Amino acid sequence: MHIVTEKREEEIPRNSEIECSKIAPISYVKGDLVSGFFVKVKTRTPFAPSELLEVPEMRLSVNSTDSETSETDSSSASENEAQHDDNSSLSSRDTYQNPSSIPLPDVDKICESKEPKPCSFMALRATYLLVTFVIMLADGLQGTHLYVLYEGYGFSVASLYCLGFFTGGLLSPITGPLVDKIGRKKAAILYCALEIFINTLEMYPYLPGLIAARMIGGLTTNLLTSVFETWLDTEYRRRDLEKEKYEIIMRDSVIVSNVAAIYSGYLAHVLAENYGPVGPFGGAVASTAIALVVVIAVWTENYGCSEGHENDKNVVGYFREALDAFKADKKMRTVGIIQGLTAGSVQIFVFLWSPALRHFAQAAITGSWGLDSQGEPAYGLIFGAYMAAGVFGGLVAPRIRKGFASVLTPVDSEDDVVKVDVDGEEVEVRPMAVEFLAALCYLISAMLLLVPFLAPANGLTSFTALLVAFLSYEFLIGVMLPCEGVIRSLYFPANARASIMTLPRIIVNATVSVGVVSTNVIRYVLK
């Protein structure tokens, strides 16, 4: 007789009682299902309990009830028993053991007593964090000198920049379902391959190649936000690891992403000093190649949950659900429009901060902080400072939120406290305090973004004032984003949040496209 394991079938003698500590669970093999285990009779190789999958110790009593064996005469049966006891010969017939004769332990108790798999957790944690670090490093590298590079090529920076957002807006509703259907590992490989391709195109002053790079970049931006974390979530559940440790990986992921973003600024500065504006893009290619190798070699494939209905929707289904939700709830509609506009303003700032600083750097005092050896803005170092300011804002955001709550509402009042799920963590918030803090961040951000318009172009300290205003704006973004996440949790239903956010994403892409392209006209009107 054989017990089927994950990769082999193991033989045990008939009519014997053996001690087994390892049996294959049902998810790995095919055969006769018995109380959560597959048991199959075959006669080939000796039984080796130590080679099987681990479950709590039990004693397995195996008795022969095969009809063909019972029909043989008693003398032949005795001889066969003796032969089995001596392990000198084995029957070559393939039969199936009657499952009812095999007593097995309670499966629920086995599942409850299953020991954690520290090696599996550490391996998953290490590979995911490595991929996250190099991916976020590459993402930061390609954003520091984009404006300078395109302008040096002599092409319209605004037109090329908005192409990516236009394409991303069109593909946003279908990216998530597409990823779930083709598989997250394949989608991650696709992302890495496309990023290597487009960053290579960026290094050459060939207009059709740059247009293709920007349009493909719209797709890769959507993939970046929908592939890697969904792969981790499904893979973690598939490995059946401890739920309590999932937060550890998510916490480490945030730390690693922030460190990568900050370090990318310094690395971009070094590469640009040595290789020019194309240097950071070469670094992005190398970083993404590392991620590609790790994903291909280590990651396993997983897909979207087939039990949900959201993955089966087409583009029309997403739009219909989002439109119905916005029509039914005025507050939801207001939140979606506001957050879409604020996200659009952040992306416009990403486009405009480089030319704005360079404009005021011409009259800046030599040696001012933020200038490189040639008197130009040190784009890489400034980008790293932006990321550090945003990280600091995110770290102090919970304390600021609690401070506003204590000021705006009585300390002993519990009537307006609401529990919401924010990034998988349940937190207690006071809606009025969160909304007031977000509104205040919006107001101060608008005032800070007026500094380039109000500062004198030839002022000796205008560059420094502008840099301080931009750093303060990045700090407020770090405070504002968690507040927006809480507000979404308050007003957007969790089971439809992905589809509801399709319309705000369209608002973001439309706002950025119009705002960026309008800079080609506004500059001449102001002159």
User: What are the tens digits of pLDDT across the range 287-303?
Assistant: 999 999 999 999 999 88
The DSSP call for residue 433 is H
Q: Same domain for 141 and 285?
A: yes
**Cα angle value 399/404/410 (rounded, 5°):** 115
Give the residue among 223, 225, 199 at the shortest CA–CA distance from 213.
199
Backbone phi, then psi, for 131, in 5-degree steps? -65, -40
Q: Does the pTM of the predicted model rise above 0.75?
A: no
pLDDT one-digit tens code per residue, 224-255: 887 888 888 888 888 888 877 887 888 788 88
One domain, residues 473 and 342: yes
Domain range for 371 is: 318-527
Do 65 and 153 fall within a single domain? no
| Domain shared by 233 and 364, yes or no | no
Cα 146 to Cα 161, 272, 335, 348, 507, distances in angstroms:
9, 11, 32, 14, 24
CA angle, corner 289, sides to 311 and 353, nearest 5? 80
Contact call for residues 377 and 358 (beta carbons, < 8 A): yes
> If 0-12 CB within 10 Å is exposed, 13-18 middle and 19+ buried, where does residue 50 land?
exposed
Instruction: Count Cα neighbours of 412 within 13 Å in the Cβ-side half-sphere.
Output: 0
pLDDT in tens, 135-178: 999 999 998 889 899 989 998 888 888 888 888 878 877 787 77
Are 241 and 377 in a shared domain? no
Check residues 69 and 260 and name the one with the higher pLDDT.
260
Which pLDDT belongs to residue 423? 53
Q: Are residue 160 and residue 218 in the same domain, yes or no?
A: yes
Domain boundary residue, one of 58, 87, 112: 112
pLDDT tens track for 322-356: 677 777 788 888 888 888 888 888 988 988 899 99
**SS3 assignment for 341-400:** HHHHHHHHHHHHHHHHHHHHHCCCCCCCCCECCCCCECHHHHHHHHHHHHHHHHHHHHHH
Q: Are residues 170 and 239 in the same domain?
A: yes
Query: From the DSSP assignment, how many helices (H) and strands (E) are in the chain?
Result: 19, 8
Are 339 and 382 part of one and the same domain? yes
Domain count, the chain: 3
End residue of a domain, out of 80, 112, 144: 112
Domain final position from 112, 141, 174: 112
- Identify the pLDDT of residue 296: 95
Question: What confidence score (pLDDT) does residue 498 get?
Answer: 57
Q: Which of 126-130, 302-306, 500-504 has the highest mean pLDDT?
A: 126-130
